[in-house]
Each structure stands twice: as structure tokens, then as C-alpha cells.
Structure 1
Amino acid sequence: MPPNLHVWEMFIKPEEIKSLLAKSGFEWKEHRGSEPNVSIPKMLGYLRKRVKGEWTFVELGQKFKLVGSKDMNILYAGYAIKK
């Protein structure tokens, strides 16, 4: 991954975005977190195999996926509706 792709200080926490949306006239709707379908060490091993060229993106995608989660501390997505 390129340097500074993920800068923790720039992460907008769910509570912060909820507040920003409300101030802008949006109603917070469904938001869900995501997590890997495998343990973090296994996921890192899979990513290393892809970087080394041992696996194609198709092979990586067959082993590693992001699945829905209630945890929104690292990665989340959702939507809001203009009031």
C-alpha cells in the first residue's frame, strides 16, 4: 500500500459524522461496520501472498472478504437522508 494511505488522525468516528450530518440537515440512517472474514494475522498473510505475486486478486478474493459487523471502530459505511 502507498505510504500514508491510512492516516488514523483523519478517521472520522461514527459519532462525529452523525453530528456533521445532523448539522447539515441529514438524518442518520443505517450504518454498519466491516471486518475481515478471517483473523488479522491470516489476513496479513493473505495480503503478503498477493503482494509477492503468489496469488492473483481472484485468489485473494476467494479467501478474504469483508463481512458486515456491528463494530464501526475501523471501517464503516452507511447512508443518510436529507430532511
Structure 2
Amino acid sequence: MKILLLAGLLALAGCATTGGAGSPPVDVSGADVSKRSLDNGDTIEEYRVGGQLRMVKVSPARGAAYYMYDRNGDGRMDSDKDGVSPVYWKLYSW
């Protein structure tokens, strides 16, 4: 039983690490990064390429950082059909 549980955990860990090893899904190489802190302790980093916002990283004072992306380059953060922007958390890394 322990071997079956261990095999399942190893398979899950393998699936969690196939996301590109920390590289964002948009090209932010050479981006201008502006960083600001809010009154509540949160930190916001904006990544702009050619003056256009491509990625936002929000690091709350408590909790994990999350990311928002502009994948198609239209200058607005991506949203689904209901107009809600998807948020991405880094769940696992080595």
C-alpha cells in the first residue's frame, strides 16, 4: 500500500513540474519592471515591453504571489468569456 501511495505522489510531483520551470507564458525579456508597495504591505510588479503592460505580479503581505498575463498583446489582461481575469499561482517548484 505504501508503494502505491509513493508512486501516486511521485506521479503528481512530475505533473506539477511540467509547467516550464518558472518561465512566464509571455515574453518579458528586456521588460521595464516597475515595483510599488501598497499601504497594506502588498507589492505589485508591472512588466512592460515597449511601453505595453504584459505581466503583473502581485505579492501579498501574507500568502503566495500570483500573476496576471496579457497573452495576446492587446494591452489588457486576459479574461475568460465572463470578463474575469484568470489568476495564476506558482504551486510547486524545486
Q: What TM-score does the superposition give when structure 2 sets the normalisation length?
A: 0.22
- Between Structure 1 and Structure 2, the one with more helix by share is 1
Q: What TM-score does the superposition give when structure 1 sets the normalisation length?
A: 0.23
